[in-house]
Amino acid sequence: MSERRANRRFVKSDGIAPVDAHQRPRDYLTPDEMRRLLIAARSGRHGPRDHAMLLLMYRHGLRVSELIALRRSDLDLKAGHLWVHRLKRGLATSHPLAGNELRAIRRLLVGRQDSLSWLFLSERGQTLTRQAVNYLVTVIAARAGLGAVHPHMLRNSCGHALAHAGRDLRLIQDYLGHRDPRHTARYTRTAATRFEGLW
């Protein structure tokens, strides 16, 4: 094994972020970009499904696996709540649904003729796969005139939006289901609100 490879492996294993981590490209969408993405989602062949899907991913910071695992029984439309099952040993929680989310979900369900338990279905009436969601996000982003967008960017966009709104680190941590606060700190460290009032 070369010295260069050995050093690289040692740096990765020490648990410290690389020195140039702050130079990585932006991995989230701004609120305006999210608005454009959601408008583009409505205009597709399966507009109600795609719009509701992207809206919930963004507003609730859902991973793809968490999204495709959602069931109708996770919804309480009367109370306006969504039960979010977190993966990676994350904290499962009940999230409030905003008015536009409730309307999007009702538009999605009004056209459903089946009795299947999954909230989001493919064109063939089966559960969506990770690959299908990746493809849909790519196609919708292209229609919106955005660059390369992948589904996890919507989760990151949620964290950044909450941090830029000045929400508490612990609150964001619980909302996104992070066990380790270090995973949440990346959002609050880059939030513009941290630097307000410096001048």
H-only helix segments in the chain: 3-13, 31-42, 47-60, 64-68, 99-110, 130-143, 152-164, 169-176, 181-189
* Catalytic (active site) residue 155: yes
CB 29 within 8 A of CB 157: yes
Active-site residue, from 8, 35, 88, 103:
88
* Catalytic (active site) residue 178: yes
* Catalytic (active site) residue 63: yes
Q: How far from 10 is each of 4, 19, 23, 36, CA to CA, in Å?
A: 10, 14, 21, 42
Active-site residue, from 49, 155, 160, 164:
155
Active-site residue, from 28, 58, 175, 187:
187
Active-site residue, from 36, 60, 86, 178:
178
| Positive or negative: CA dihedral 60, 98, 83, 64 | negative
Sheet of strand 75-76: strand arrangement: 75-76, 81-84, 93-96
* Catalytic (active site) residue 12: no
* Catalytic (active site) residue 175: no
Active-site residue, from 63, 86, 160, 164:
63
Active-site residue, from 112, 152, 167, 183:
152
Catalytic residues: 63, 88, 152, 155, 178, 187
